[in-house]
Amino acid sequence: MAPIIPKTVGESLYWSYANLAMAFTGGRHNEPTYQQIDFIVRNKLYCGLVRGSLNVKNFIIDEKEKLDASDACCYCGSRSNLSLDHLIPQLKGGRHSADNLVVACRSCNSSKKALDLMEWMAKKKQFPPLRLLRRYLKLAIQYCVENDLMDILLNPDEPTEPKQLTLFDDVEAGIRLEHADRALTFFPFAIALIPHRFPDPENVVDRVPSADQE
């Protein structure tokens, strides 16, 4: 399968979710680059999601992992001054629900402020831990399915193939992140920052270690 250039919101979210699955499987090989089996996993999942023969998994595994790691900040691993943070802020339309709540230390909570996960990670020039990104993508997909937004064109006014911003594009340091998705302001998440390119397995972070394990 040739590299996908998503044209709709649904294709964008599904392609990112499929790449996420590839990153998870690739991290288990202890190889510096992705192997053929990883690309097969990605392509099979993407095709299944688009055709409707496969579905995004529910939040059960995410909630279990959150409970297991509830004694540490999900962003940095600190065990001090813990509280709850909305992955997608309520100010931007995120729900006050267990699926959207994660454990965060006071420092990370203060730094993130009203930014959502992808906006904050882009500001820090970091790729998010896979388990956080998985929860984020599930929230985004859930929202778009419930509100019939999956078929919305990403760039309806552009006749050429759309180009999505990712954390690995050359984004100027001073860019205003909210400007990136100005045409899609009704989305509570940063649609323009949904990642389609992922780091090599040796550079991807699966879960954030506790501070005393670093």
Tell me the per-residue pLDDT of 127-139, one tens digit each, with 9 for 90 and over: 999 999 999 999 9
* Structural element, H or E, at residue 122: helix 117-124
Q: Which long-range contacts (CB under 8 A, 24 or more apart) does 107-111 make?
A: 107/76, 107/78, 107/81, 108/73, 108/75, 108/76, 108/78, 109/83, 109/85
By the 10 Å C-beta count (0-12 exposed, 13-18 middle, 19+ buried), 151 is classed as: exposed
Give the per-residue pLDDT at 100: 97
The pLDDT-based confidence of 156 (bands split at 50, 70, 90) is low
pLDDT digits (tens, 9 = 90+) for 81-126: 999 999 999 999 999 999 999 999 999 999 999 999 999 999 999 9
Domain boundaries, the chain: 9-57+114-151+162-197
Please list, in sequence order, all residues whose beta carbon lies within 8 angstroms of the beta carbon of residue 164, skipping any fewer than 6 positions away. Answer: 6, 12, 154, 192, 194, 196
The larger pLDDT score, comparing residue 1 to residue 138, is at 138
The pLDDT-based confidence of 157 (bands split at 50, 70, 90) is low
Mean per-residue pLDDT of the chain? 85
The torsion angle over the Cα atoms of residues 203, 204, 209 and 211, rounded to 10 degrees, is: 50
Asked if 69 and 103 count as a contact pair (C-beta separation under 8 A), the reply is yes
Q: Provide mean pLDDT across the span 66-80.
A: 95
The pLDDT-based confidence of 173 (bands split at 50, 70, 90) is very low
Q: What are phi and psi of 125, to 5 degrees?
A: 55, 45
Beta strands in 60-213 (DSSP E): 82-86, 101-105
Asked if 188 and 143 count as a contact pair (C-beta separation under 8 A), the reply is yes
**Whether the predicted pLDDT of 160 surpasses 50:** no
C-alpha to C-alpha distance for 77 and 18, rounded to whole angstroms: 27
pLDDT digits (tens, 9 = 90+) for 9-27: 999 999 999 999 999 999 9
The larger pLDDT score, comparing residue 117 to residue 209, is at 117
The pLDDT-based confidence of 209 (bands split at 50, 70, 90) is low
**Whether the predicted pLDDT of 180 surpasses 90:** no
* Structural element, H or E, at residue 100: none
